[in-house]
Amino acid sequence: MDEDAQQEPEQSVANRVLSTFIAAVGEEDALAEVAARLKPVLLDGDAVNEASLRQAIFGDDS
């Protein structure tokens, strides 16, 4: 069974929305690096915490 089929419906929809957002952000040259950092934090983890989100958005030294 694939990963989407195992997720709650709301989580699956949220992941698709986030994927679309990240893809759109990634098309902007200035935001491509942020999008690349956001994807694993938002989509690959079970939970998002503030520290990991800040690191993804602002980089390593924020």
Residue-wise pLDDT tens digits, 17-45: 778 888 888 788 878 888 888 888 887 77
Look at 3 and 29; give whichever has higher pLDDT: 29
Q: At what angle do helices 50-58 and 32-39 cross, to 10 degrees?
A: 150
Structure tokens at 57: 């958005």
The whole-number pLDDT of residue 62 equals: 47
Tell whether pTM > 0.75.
no
